[in-house]
Amino acid sequence: MKLPRRNFLHLAAGAAALPAVSRIAWAQAYPSRPVRIIVGFPAGFASDAVARLIAQSLSESLRQQFVVENRPGAGSNIAADAVVRATPDGYSLLLVTQTNAINATFYENLGFDFIRDIAPVASIVVAHFVMVVSPSVPAKTVPEFIDYAKANPGKVNMPSPGTGSAGHVFGELFKIMTGVHIVHVPYRATFIPDLLSGQVQVAFATIGALIEHIRTGRLRALAVTAATRVDVLPDVPALGEFVSGYEASGWTGIGAPRNTSAEIIEILNKAINAALTDPKMKARLADLGLEPLANSPAEFGNYIAQYTEKWGKVVRAANIKPE
Report the residue count for the chain: 323
pLDDT digits (tens, 9 = 90+) for 116-155: 999 999 999 999 999 999 999 999 999 999 999 999 999 9
Q: Is the pTM of this model over 0.85?
A: yes
Q: Last residue of some domain: 241, 274, 293? A: 241
* Residue 286 domain flag: yes
Instruction: Say if CB 223 and CB 236 are below 8 A apart.
Output: yes
Q: Are residues 192 and 262 in the same domain?
A: no
Q: Are residues 167 and 224 in the same domain?
A: yes
Tell me how many domains the chain contains.
2
Q: Which domain holds residue 136?
A: 128-241
Distance CA 301, CA 97 (A): 13
Position 27 scores a pLDDT of 56
pLDDT digits (tens, 9 = 90+) for 280-320: 999 999 888 899 999 999 999 999 999 999 999 999 999 99
Q: Last residue of some domain: 241, 260, 293? A: 241
pLDDT digits (tens, 9 = 90+) for 202-237: 999 999 999 999 999 999 999 999 999 998 999 999
Q: Which residues contact 207 (CB under 8 A, 6 or more apart)?
A: 127, 128, 129, 130, 224, 230, 232, 233, 289
Q: Last residue of some domain: 241, 273, 303? A: 241
Position 19 scores a pLDDT of 54
Q: Which residues contact 108 (CB under 8 A, 6 or more apart)?
A: none
The CATH number of whichever domain residue 119 belongs to comes to 3.40.190.150
Sign of the dihedral through C-alpha 271, 274, 278, 281: positive
* Residue 14 domain flag: no
pLDDT digits (tens, 9 = 90+) for 177-191: 999 999 999 998 899
Q: Are residues 190 and 217 in the same domain?
A: yes
The CATH number of whichever domain residue 182 belongs to comes to 3.40.190.10
* Residue 294 domain flag: yes
* Residue 90 domain flag: yes
Displacement of CA 113 from its chain's centroid (Å): 17
Distance CA 39, CA 69 (A): 6
